[in-house]
Amino acid sequence: MSLKRNERSGRVAYVNARLIDPATGLDGRGGLLTEGEAIADVGIGLFAQGVPEGVIVVDCGGQCLAPGLVDIRVQLREPGNEHKGTIASTGRSAIAGGVTSLVSLPDTKPVIDDMSVVEFVARRARLVGLAKVYTYGAITRGLKGAELAELGMLAEAGALGFTDGVTAIADAQVLRRALSYAATFGLLILERPEEPSLAKGGAMNQGETATRLGLPSIPRAAEVIMVERDIRLVEMTGGRLHLMNLSTAEAVEAVRRAKKRGIEITCDTAPPYFALNEIAVGDYRTFAKLSPPLRSEDDRQAVVAGLADGTIDAITSDDMPQDEDAKRQPFAQAAFGGVGLETLLAVSLELYHNGHLTVPNVLRLLTAAPSNLLGLTAGRLAKGAPADLVVFDPDRAWKVDADLLLSKSKNTPFDGRPVQGRVLRTVVDGRAVFELGSMA
């Protein structure tokens, strides 16, 4: 495969590919044709009689060709914290990880609680021209958890849903009002479930490891208490709620029970919570200081089970760039968070390599499922759909090296981890923007 800058204006035939489209159940050898920014044709046996003249040919070498990944939880550091990351650096990191669409939390500076900030992010992303960037709006003004933001106006400006980012709405009455308002207009509320007073001052998961290291801890109950409360509020209001970053067995089970009762609730998790446990903290390794914290092995296994049985609806990167100074601190004082865009696919494919899910089922959690949650047109291989694609080798082995990441920040909890699954090529709107070994 070779990167051609003129592909966007012409027609490109992807041949000799394993086509995987979880949205339609497509999985087999075939081809795909892009014309301009859209998919013109796709299917098993396409190009069996040869490729028409004048069409650029990309031979996929038998590797997987799938919809570009849709990442619905990213902390975009621009505007306000450009020393940690920018729309450009996040975009480069995204396309290297096969992510063609991403959604930013609203905790930028200024907060995305005003139409002008939504429009600024959209305009900057278009100028950068890498991954497609969408935003959530804040539930409350300034993320202060009190007065509701102008949800309707933010939705009109393009906000895909509403959340206060990494902070839960502590006041149940405020969240009740938000869910009620959102239900009236068909809007989605997203909550990061962690009871703030229980989590305050904590640095890692409560348990033997925290005790041995002498670190202040965050109990698992902080998560499930919020999940249970929020489920009750959904029952009261009829609103749509999505719970972000589940990390505990009890929270997964609470959502499982709620779904069985027919409650309209969805949830996601991120790779650290099914690939790592609290042992990764080791001897005060700050790259493993995440929010929520890495949990016990029992919790990790419960998250895997939740992904396997459909309780957990999507996988996100939870990309949270931090500058070097913020991580080079004593563990208790270091900032929470890790970058995850470039390792999203490879670590998620561990679910396949370890026998928990098939490749198409892993991809569904990274493409069609998150896209459907937010009503996007991304995440599918279909005629007329955006030509947002990823070509990858699910078995290619490599080792994560934080220093080689394209992200401006390098704080990955997977530094030094051997993984399998490598993005070879990423296409956005028919234009090849990344090829392994080179950049557009």
What residues contact 170, with CB distance under 8 A and at least 6 apart? 145, 195, 196, 197
**Tokens at residue 409, please?**
């920040």
Q: Is 420 helix (H, G, I), strand (E, B) or coil?
A: strand
Of 71, 318, 388, 415, which one is the catalytic site residue? 318
What residues contact 43, with CB distance under 8 A and at least 6 apart? 19, 26, 30, 31
Cβ–Cβ under 8 Å, residues 62 and 41: no
DSSP state of 207: S
What residues contact 164, with CB distance under 8 A and at least 6 apart? 106, 107, 138, 139, 140, 143, 145, 191, 192
Dist. CA 310–CA 307, nearest whole Å: 5
Distances, alpha carbon 380 to alpha carbons 20, 129, 377, in Å: 9, 21, 8
Residue at 432: amino acid letter: A
CA 42 to chain centre: 26
Phi, psi (deg, nearest 5) at residue 251: -70, -40
Tokens 């609203």 sit on residue: 106
Question: Does the annotation count 318 as an active-site position?
Answer: yes
Q: Is 257 helix (H, G, I), strand (E, B) or coil?
A: helix
Dist. CA 323–CA 100, nearest whole Å: 24
What residues contact 241, with CB distance under 8 A and at least 6 apart? 179, 188, 189, 190, 191, 230, 231, 233, 234, 264, 265, 266
Q: Which amino acids are annotated catalytic?
A: 318
